[in-house]
Structure 1
Amino acid sequence: MIGVVVWSNASREKAIIWCEDQSTLAYLQGRANFIDARKWPQAGDLVELETRTAGNLRHAHNVSMLSEQLAPHLPQILSQYQPDTGGPQLRIVAQQDRAPCSASASRHSDDGYTTARSNAAG
């Protein structure tokens, strides 16, 4: 599957990937799951990956770089997107590892990820 990295933290070896199947985001953790050991993927990089779900979390593995910085402004574009139809909307609830977040709209886990619900029907 193909995906675009929308968030990355090289020092913690974590990244979040938006996948072409438009399902839940995939979480990359640790260099063992990233094939290219030379550098960690950054927001905007196009990657190829496999996924598996454990509990309610989708993990990325066998991730390889296809194109660096193909869409470097994607996180900013997604945070500014305003749908006209009231359909599902992706919201960036935090852009830093440990930013406070609202319990009703997001969940902040112990590993530093902040996840958000889509704003489907209100």
Structure 2
Amino acid sequence: MIGVVLWSDNSAGKAVFWCEDQGDLAYYEEPSVQVGAGSGFDTGDMVQFDISVHRKLRIADNPRLVQEKAGTHLPEALRDSHAAQTLQEAPTPKGTAQIISFAAKAEPRCFHAAQLKA
């Protein structure tokens, strides 16, 4: 699976990935972390990882950096999209999806809605 780091705490060795299939988020925790030494992932980094499901949570294993800062716009775009959707309060028709691109573009982004499941 390919994903973008939405949040990370390098000192604790934890991260949350937004997945390419736009399903549930994937959670990562390093098996053994020494204080101050973590995965080194930063928000917006594109990573490739194995995925498993444990107690209805997607767990990321063996993450590998694909590209640094590939999706630095993504966390803010998702927050803005969620805020816009909340203001509109318009339900998304069942069976449709709104997709936010992983690729960065030079022009300003305008996202109307994105759904996250946590």
TM-score w.r.t. structure 2 length?
0.64
1:101-112 mapped onto 2 (5 Å cutoff) = none
1:61-100 mapped onto 2 (5 Å cutoff) = 61-81=61-81, 82-83=84-85, 86-87=91-92, 89-90=114-115
Other-structure match for 1:13: 13
CA deviation map 1:17-75 (0-9, x unaligned): 0111111100010166xxxx985111100011110011111100011000001111211
Moved >3 Å (runs of 4+): 88-91
Taking only the aligned residue pairs, the percentage that are identical comes to 36
Aligned residues, how many?
89
User: Which has the greater radius of gyration?
Assistant: 2
| 1:46 and 2:73 matched | no
Give the 3 Å change call, closer, same or farther, for CA 62–39 of structure 1 in structure 2.
closer
Structure 1: runs of 5 or more not aligned: 92-114, 117-122
- Note the C-alpha offset of 1:12: 1.1
CA deviation map 1:79-121 (0-9, x unaligned): 0112465327447xxxxxxxxxxxxxxxxxxxxxxx75xxxxx
Give the 3 Å change call, closer, same or farther, for CA 20–4 of structure 1 in structure 2.
same
Aligned-partner Cα distance in 2 for 1:62–1:46? 14
Aligned-partner Cα distance in 1 for 2:67–2:58? 22
